[in-house]
């Protein structure tokens, strides 16, 4: 079983993060790892949270799945359209979780892999990398449906991706788009939601990620400079994202 968080507190609901990336040294040192970054965004007192390191092949066994109320699928350095064994195993688990109507919240790679598990298509973004603070636009129907959350029509978020959802799964709905990306958020029923951006990221995490991508020659200097400028100029609406993600994951919509 994955590592725990919050056990021993009042018995409450149980959630798990399926971690699809390795922690960077920076995130480990400053934030205690990506798992803690997610729990600080989504966790509440009385809940129990576990982490499964999916990229290492660690997934909840079938007999444990029913014990959880919801799952968060994280970002990754891998491609959601890839065929590594751990990705195939994750897809199989996600299909099971969808059939059990578990609350599933996918972020970046998680958004793309959920789309794939449901029959959608993913691949390299047609407009290339999107890194920095990007303003996305929820649809009128989304704003209306979730009126109790008071979601603004302009919703800045931290982005860091070069892949995207090309084609929605059957019966899924686009909830938001941006200038670069046609499917920023999608929903499938009331139990699956994918978000292309990173509601859990802080600006410092992104700044260090930009430097790492530059060192690995995955982006050019001009990309890095533009991304850093957008981070300095813009502010992600962390509170709005926190409300939306928590309300969805905890079936309060």
Domain assignment present for residue 177? The answer is: yes
For 83-115, what is each residue's pLDDT tens digit? 999 999 999 999 999 999 999 999 999 999 999
For 203-223, what is each residue's pLDDT tens digit? 999 999 999 999 999 989 998
Contacts 24+ apart (CB under 8 A), 150-153: 151/240, 151/244, 152/237, 152/240
Domain assignment present for residue 206? The answer is: no
- Note the pTM of the prediction, 2 decimals: 0.93
How far apart are the C-alpha atoms of 192 and 110, rounded to whole Å? 11
Question: Does residue 198 have an active-site annotation?
Answer: yes
For 168-209, what is each residue's pLDDT tens digit? 999 999 999 999 999 999 999 999 999 999 999 999 999 999
Question: Does residue 245 have an active-site annotation?
Answer: no
Domain assignment present for residue 211? The answer is: no
Does the structure show a pLDDT above 90 at 62? no
Could you tell me the residue range of the domain that residue 64 belongs to?
3-201+237-249
Catalytic residue among 108, 111, 184, 223: 108
Domain assignment present for residue 213? The answer is: no
Catalytic residue among 111, 159, 200, 245: 200
Domain assignment present for residue 25? The answer is: yes
Spell 109-121 as b/e; 16+ CB within 10 A means b.
bbbbbbbbbbebe
Catalytic residue among 50, 161, 198, 223: 198
* Number of domains within the chain: 1
What's the CATH number where 21 sits?
3.40.50.880
Question: Does residue 239 have an active-site annotation?
Answer: no
Domain assignment present for residue 184? The answer is: yes
Does the structure show a pLDDT above 60 at 61? yes
Give the model's confidence band at 10: pLDDT under 50 very low, under 70 low, under 90 confident, else very high.
very low
């Amino acid at each position: 079983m994955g590592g725990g968080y919050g056990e021993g507190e009042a018995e409450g609901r149980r959630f798990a993060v399926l971690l699809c990336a390795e922690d960077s040294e920076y995130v480990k040192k400053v934030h205690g790892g990506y798992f803690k970054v997610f729990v600080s965004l989504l966790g509440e007192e009385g809940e129990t949270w576990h982490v499964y390191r999916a990229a290492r092949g660690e997934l909840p066994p079938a007999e444990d799945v029913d014990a959880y109320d919801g799952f968060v699928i994280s970002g990754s350095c891998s491609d959601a359209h890839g065929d590594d064994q751990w990705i195939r195993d994750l897809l199989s688990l996600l299909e099971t979780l969808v059939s059990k109507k578990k609350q599933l919240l996918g972020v970046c790679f998680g958004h793309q892999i959920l789309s794939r598990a449901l029959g959608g298509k993913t691949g390299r973004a047609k407009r290339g990398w999107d890194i920095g603070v990007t303003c996305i636009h929820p649809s009128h129907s989304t704003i209306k449906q979730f009126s109790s959350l008071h979601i603004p029509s302009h919703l800045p978020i931290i982005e860091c991706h070069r892949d995207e959802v090309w084609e929605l799964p059957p019966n899924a709905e686009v909830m938001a788009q941006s200038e670069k990306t046609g499917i920023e958020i999608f929903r499938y029923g009331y139990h699956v939601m994918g978000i292309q951006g990173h509601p859990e990221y802080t600006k410092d995490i992104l700044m260090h990620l930009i430097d790492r991508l530059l060192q690995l020659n995955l982006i050019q200097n001009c990309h890095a400079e533009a991304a850093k400028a957008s981070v300095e100029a813009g502010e992600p609406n962390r509170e709005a994202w926190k409300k939306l993600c928590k309300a969805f994951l905890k079936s309060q919509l």
